[in-house]
Structure 1
Amino acid sequence: MVRTSQSVRVLGPADVEAALAVIARDPVVNVFADYRTRLTQLDPRWLGGEMWGYHEGDELVSLCHVGANLVPVGAGPEACAAFAERAMRSGPRSSTLVGPREAVEQMWDDLATHWPAPRELRWDQPHLEALRPAEVASDPAVRRTTREQATTLYPACVAMYTEEVGISPEVDGGRDLYRARVNQLIGRGWSFSRIEDGRVLFKAEVACASPSACQVQGVYVDPELRGQGLATAGMAAVVEACQREIAPSVSLYVNAHNTAARAAYARAGFVQTETFSTIMF
């Protein structure tokens, strides 16, 4: 098959059913695309970007979310080449390229000489799912964050983001937008925390959810309290709440070098099912 961007087109509301069928091949790994598709119905007014579709004949076989995150979905070599060609023509508009490692590697092989040099390359990020019982009891003090606790929680969110990403979410005028995001997650019931005497001991959020799965992000323990089991017990509580009230499968991905976090997640019942990669610009 000729590798050409002619195989790629921007999807719209009429393509939602076909897009969800592609996503359903691996609904846990593809939960971000699932969430965005259902939430926006692929209407560009709400998507804040585009969803590209790669076709073989008349059949939609792969997707690529194009927004703040460039995310290939179910993309084999031909689709990755076509998405990369389209991205080269449209120019860089995403702050990250993220997804299953093989697809990210294939797209970056084509994009590397055309897009700006990345700020960071994170090739080895185990994708984990909560598939086993936790080895410890869940922390009963971990609860949904309330609106009244938003001001207390916010600095911990900034600290976690800065530690994880390497830059503050407040740079370049991002404070109001990031604060709105934190408040949005609290309002949805997707923020969990243990707060005592005005101090955030542990916190985590659900980044996205679908009828099949949800993905946890922003796991944080007060630096002075690390190594005491707060992350393991806290994540066990988050998994229980998510499976009971949000989605049956709970996932996350973590940097391979973060051995402490990986050990905590393993004790909380998480098992590696895929490897992700993230390229940051």
Structure 2
Amino acid sequence: MLRTGARVLGDGDREELLALCARDAVTNVFVAGRVETHGADARRLGGELWGFGPPGDLQAACWSGANLVPVEAGEPALDAFAARARAQGRRCSSIVGPADAALGLWHRLRPSWGRAREVRQRQPLLVLDGPAAVEPDPLVRRSVEEDLDVLLPACVAMFTEEVGYSPVGGDGGRAYRSRVAELVRTRRSFLRLDAGEGPALRPVLAPGTARRVAFKAELGAVSSGAVQVQGVFVDPQLRGRGLAAPGTAAVARLARERSEVAVSLYVNDFNTAAVAAYRRAGFRAVGTLATVLF
């Protein structure tokens, strides 16, 4: 074991790591999904998984890639993970996880990493583990390849509104388009097009209006025990018309077509309209996450 107390995990740790994630399948869905799909070897993951505790006694873990995500990490593990993160320097764009752990990591790293762009300290983690409380929107469906050109602007708008900057980088947006296309290809993207159908849309859409996305969402993480809905977006001109709750209920129904997994999402506590919509759909709070953005 390294003197920091943290070690890089590999495929030999896969089953123990999945057992660790299964202690809280909803909270740990991101790491569990990556390990189930790619194993635990860094060469396939595109990042590293750090462990705290020797083989056979894995007590905590942390994903280190585009973001830093602690798993079941108490104070000693946070000390170990922060030491390793300081040693390699900041490579991530965010720290995200259970509020105590994510903010604990940030407290340890801030003296060497400097100021964050934004710290979102309270993000309720919500779950729907039974039938939705509202009728799912029948016009919400899985996205298909032919939707990509109309879907992409909605994805860019949602990302920019949520994160604070556009995902369209120096490559003209090719990398982000590829990411959205991958979500479509893997059946993890959902939308409702505003073809003028449905009473919620008739007051604002004139006949012949060009296609656009009225509602969309993705499954940002998928494991055998849970899925996490992300990127929920309602066209600004259609907000307040009751699309979010039945739209999210429809995503939950479609996500559970093959398996009765728990459907989760997290939301900024200051987004009171979104919190209310998810609660109307039947989601209940099971924890609190936090996100540190760089």
TM-score (norm 2): 0.91
Match of 1:217 in 2: 230
Cα distance in 2 for partners of 1:207, 1:263 equals: 21
**CA distances 1:100-141 after superposition (whole Å, capped 9, x unpaired):** 000012111110101131111100100110145433211100
Shift of 1:271: 0.6
Distance verdict in 2 for CA 1:240–1:5, change over 3 Å: farther
Contact 1:62 1:79 in 2 (8 A): yes
> 1:98 and 1:256 mapped to 2: Cα distance?
15
Residues 1:138 and 2:151 are matched in the alignment = no
Report Cα offsets for 1:152-193 as digits up to 9, x if no partner: 100000000000000000134371111111000111111110
Residue aligning to 1:87: 85
1:26 Cα deviation after fit: 0.6
3-state SS in 2 of match to 1:260 = helix
Please tell me whether the aligned partners of residues 66 and 91 of structure 2 are also in contact (alpha carbons under 8 angstroms): yes
Partners of 1:209 and 1:246 within 8 A in 2:
no
Higher share of residues assigned strand: 1
1:28 is aligned to: 26
2:275 is matched with which residue? 262
Question: Unpaired segments of 5 or more residues in structure 1?
Answer: none
Q: 2:287 matched to 1:274?
A: yes
Q: Does 1:68 align with 2:66?
A: yes
**2:157 match:** 159
User: Which deviates more from structure 2 when the two are superposed, residues 89-98 or residues 52-61?
Assistant: 52-61
User: What does residue range 189-228 of structure 1 map to in structure 2 within 5 Å?
Assistant: 189-197=187-195, 198-228=211-241
Moved more, 127-136 or 190-199: 127-136
**Identity across the alignment (%):** 49
Query: 2: CA distance between counterparts of 1:105 and 1:144?
Result: 35
1:170 pairs with 2:168: yes
Q: 1:135 to 1:27 in 2, by over 3 A?
A: closer
1:81-101 residue CA offsets vs partner (Å, 9 max, x unmatched): 110011111110100000000
Q: 1:238 aligns with which of 248, 251, 265?
A: 251
* Equivalent position amino acid for 1:36 in 2: R
Tell me, yes or no, if the aligned pair for 2:213 and 2:235 is still in contact at 8 Å.
yes
The whole-number CA distance in structure 1 between the counterparts of 2:170 and 2:62 is: 27
CA distance in 2, matches of 1:55, 1:240: 39
Partner Cα separation in structure 1 for residue 172 and residue 286 of structure 2: 34
Who is 1:54 aligned against? 52
RMSD over aligned Cα, in angstroms?
Answer: 1.5
Q: Distance in 2 between matches of 1:120 and 1:218?
A: 19
TM-score when scaled to structure 1?
Answer: 0.95
CA distance in 1, matches of 2:87, 2:10: 20
How many residue pairs end up in the alignment?
278
> Segments of 4+ in structure 1 off by > 6 A?
none
| 1:110 equivalent in structure 2 | 108
Q: Indicate how the Cα distance of structure 1 residues 95 and 249 shifts in structure 2: closer, same or farther if over 3 A, else same.
A: same
> Quick check: 1:5–1:83 contact (8 Å CA) kept in 2?
no
- Partner Cα distance (2:228, 2:172) in 1: 23
Q: Secondary structure at the match of 2:257?
A: helix
Secondary structure in 2 matching 1:240: helix
Alignment CA distance shift 1:228-1:122 (3 Å): same
Q: Separation in 1 of the partners of 2:131 and 2:265?
A: 16
Q: Name the SS of the counterpart of 1:170 in structure 2.
A: coil
Query: Equivalents in 1 of 2:258, 2:151: separation in Å?
Result: 22
**What corresponds to 2:38 in structure 1?**
40
